[in-house]
Amino acid sequence: MSNLVKFKIDGTECMAEKGSYIVDAALENGIYIPTLCNMPGVKPKGACRVCSVRINGRLMTSCTTPVSDGMEIESNSADILDLRKAIIELMFVSGNHFCPSCEKSGNCELQALGYRYKMMVPRFLYDFPVRKVDASSPKIIKDQNRCIQCKRCIKTIKDEQGRSLFAFHKRGHDLEVILDQDLGKKITEELADLAMKNCPVGSIIKKEKGFEQAIGRRMYDHQPIGIEDK
Partner 1 sequence: MSKKITIEPVTRVEGHGKVTIHIDNQGNITQSRLHIVEFRGFERFVQGRPYWEAPVLVQRLCGICPVSHHLAAAKALDVIVGAGTGEGLTPTGEKMRRLMHYGQFFQSHALHFFHLSSPDLLFGIDSDPATRNIIGVALTYPELAVQGVMMRKFGQEIIRATAGKKIHGTGAIPGGINKNLSIEERDEFLLGADPLNADKMVDWAEGALDFFKNYYASNKSFVDGFASFPSNHLSLVRKDGALDLYHGVLRAVDTEGNKILHDVDYQEYVNYIEEEVRTWSYMKFPYLKDIGKENGWYRVGPLARLNTVDFIPTPLAQREFEIYKALTNGKPNNHCLHTHYARLIETLHAAEMIRELLNDPDLLGNELVTKGIKHKEGVGVIEAPRGTLFHHYRINDNDQIEMANLIVSTTHNNEPMNRSVNYVAKAVMTGKEVITEGMMNAVEVAIRAYDPCLSCATHALGKMPLEITLVNEFDEIIDRKRS
Interface contacts to partner 1, rule CB under 8 A: 100-101, 103, 133, 135-136, 141, 205, 207-217
C-beta closer to partner 1: residue 63 or 141? 141
C-beta closer to partner 1: residue 121 or 215? 215
Of 206, 200, 97, 203, nearest in space to 144 by CA: 203
**What is the separation, in whole angstroms, between the first and last Cα of the chain?**
35
C-beta closer to partner 1: residue 48 or 195? 195
Of 18, 21, 19, nearest in space to 2 by CA: 18
Cβ-contact 163, 183 below 8 angstroms: yes
Radius of gyration of the chain (CA): 19
CB of 230 to partner 1, least distance (A): 23
CB of 124 to partner 1, least distance (A): 23
C-beta closer to partner 1: residue 62 or 107? 107
C-beta closer to partner 1: residue 212 or 228? 212
Rounded Cα–Cα distance for residues 183 and 167 (Å): 11
Cβ-contact 94, 127 below 8 angstroms: yes
CB of 203 to partner 1, least distance (A): 13
Kind and range of the H or E element at 222? helix 219-222
Q: In what order do the strands lie in the sheet with 140-143?
A: 133-134, 140-143, 204-206
The conformation of residue 164, written as its DSSP 8-state character, comes to B
CB of 143 to partner 1, least distance (A): 8
C-beta closer to partner 1: residue 29 or 223? 223
Determine phi and psi for 212, rounding to 5 degrees: -75, -20
Determine phi and psi for 189, rounding to 5 degrees: -60, -45
CB of 119 to partner 1, least distance (A): 20
CB of 111 to partner 1, least distance (A): 15
